[in-house]
Amino acid sequence: MRKPSFILDPRLDADTRLAASLALCDVRLMNDARFPWLVLVPRRTGLVEIADLPADEQTLLWQEVNCASAALRAVAPCDKLNLGALGNIVRQLHVHVVARCEGDAAWPGPVWGHGSAQPYAEADLTARLVALRQALAPTAG
């Protein structure tokens, strides 16, 4: 029996841009210039919850979240990192890593559902992706 190939949820595809591929996850930049925001998506089919991953891949997921967090902090210094795996709207397993600064547009509340996304200008998007790729290069596959 052939294993189904991984397909990224169309909403994640529309809202994010690929920054890097790690051993388990694609690291994607949310196209919202208001908040430096990464989304890690394990390249596994049919997963909804972190608990759906085998134990060894749960460990790898958190290692990759830590790597992505460090990379995000390197390119977007912040006061706090917010992590979340909500999945109430997009059920495909994904983990958000959001760099927050006191006084940002949603501070101190959550970024989810706060106003409308403001896409990066193309040059800014390219620069942010290049910086993230450099910061993630030691862990990218």
Contact yes or no for 33/42 (Cβ under 8 A): no
- Alpha helix ranges (H) inside the chain: 10-15, 55-75, 122-136
> What is the rounded distance in angstroms from the CA atom of residue 101 to the CA atom of residue 81?
9
Per-residue pLDDT band for 3 (boundaries 50, 70, 90) equals low
User: What digits encode the pLDDT tens for the residues 27-61?
Assistant: 999 999 999 999 999 999 999 999 999 999 999 99
User: What digits encode the pLDDT tens for the residues 98-133?
Assistant: 999 999 999 999 998 888 999 999 999 999 999 999
Token reading at 44: 């596994």
Q: What is the pTM of this model?
A: 0.94
